[in-house]
Amino acid sequence: MNIDKKIADDLVANGVSFVTTVPCKQLAGVIDEVDKRDDIFHIPSNKEDEGMGLCAGAWMGGKRPCIIMQNTAIGVTINTLATLIQYYRMPLPMLISYRGELREPVACQVEMAVHTKALLAQMHIPTYHFHWQKDVEEFDNILKYTFMCNKPVAILTDANFWGGYGDQ
């Protein structure tokens, strides 16, 4: 199964027509797949909180948005999540590379990984952790859930899910 294609297919099947992304090596394949889709307007962001603002604008303009980002900037997004996305009850699927977890080769990424789930829990954001490639089968249901309840949802995808970084 090509997980990049499955993710993009599920986005389209759930009416997601606006995706913003912040670059990450783990997410490169899914970002490329989203960028190829004619039915998804893809705009790269410089920062995650900026991307959430773009998603809010897309939602207010009648589009279903998604942000694809890295967990190391979760701390930067707390204010935007609370005062914009959650306050105005905007659905926002957040596909997040969970850097600093198992099979992570960069030691400095570990520090934010230690806090990621706790920050999301403190914000009462439903969080799903994709560790195995078969976990992508739940992505369609997670998208349906976020748009049904008008809440942000975090999908953490670790290095193992993406196939790791080769032999370490």
What distance in Å separates the CA atoms of residue 23 and residue 113, rounded to the nearest whole number? Answer: 18
Q: pLDDT tens-digit profile of 74-91?
A: 999 999 999 999 999 999
The DSSP line for 34-59 is HHH-TTSEEEE-SSHHHHHHHHHHHH
Cα angle value 61/97/122 (rounded, 5°): 75
What distance in Å separates the CA atoms of residue 72 and residue 98, rounded to the nearest whole number? Answer: 8
Q: pLDDT tens-digit profile of 31-76?
A: 999 999 999 999 999 999 999 999 999 999 999 999 999 999 999 9
Residue 167 confidence class, pLDDT cut points 50, 70, 90? very low
Q: Judge whether residue 168 has pLDDT over 60.
A: no
What distance in Å separates the CA atoms of residue 29 and residue 119, rounded to the nearest whole number? Answer: 27
What distance in Å separates the CA atoms of residue 27 and residue 109, rounded to the nearest whole number? Answer: 15
